[in-house]
Amino acid sequence: MEKKDIAIAVKNESAHLTVPDPFYDRRTCERLQITIEVEMARGTREFFIDFGGLKPLSSYSMGHLLKLNDQIKEAGGKLTLKGFSPDVRAMLKALLVDQLLTIEA
């Protein structure tokens, strides 16, 4: 199955990304990492990522989001996540990850 591209819209140094894949797997993590690095090199510092109802989230993917958050913060930016399913949001809250990441409903 072919993966869809990550959609991105940049306005006023703010990037809005949409991850179209229902599974945030290693390949999607790599594609998202590259997309954000390119935008950071262009001067973008604020990132909003919409996962469109993502249901499963592996420990690898969670670690990747924490790493992205740290990289963006170190560059003086901000990462905001949204679009997680209620189950994923509950898991992130139970693991206290919601205290490390900015997550919108």
62-79 pLDDT, tens digit per residue, is 999 999 999 999 999 999
DSSP 23: S
1-14 burial, b for 16+ CB within 10 Å, e for fewer? eeeeebebeeeeeb
Burial class (CB in 10 A: 0-12, 13-18, 19+), 31: middle
Candidates 54, 62, 61; CA nearest to 83 is 54
Predicted TM-score (pTM) of the model is 0.86
Candidates 83, 100, 91; CA nearest to 7 is 83
- pLDDT at residue 1 in the model: 45
76-99 pLDDT, tens digit per residue, is 999 999 988 888 889 999 999 999
Instruction: Name residue 103's beta-bridge partners.
Output: 81
CATH T-level topology, domain 7-103: Transcription Regulator spoIIAA (3.30.750)
Return the domain boundaries, the chain: 7-103
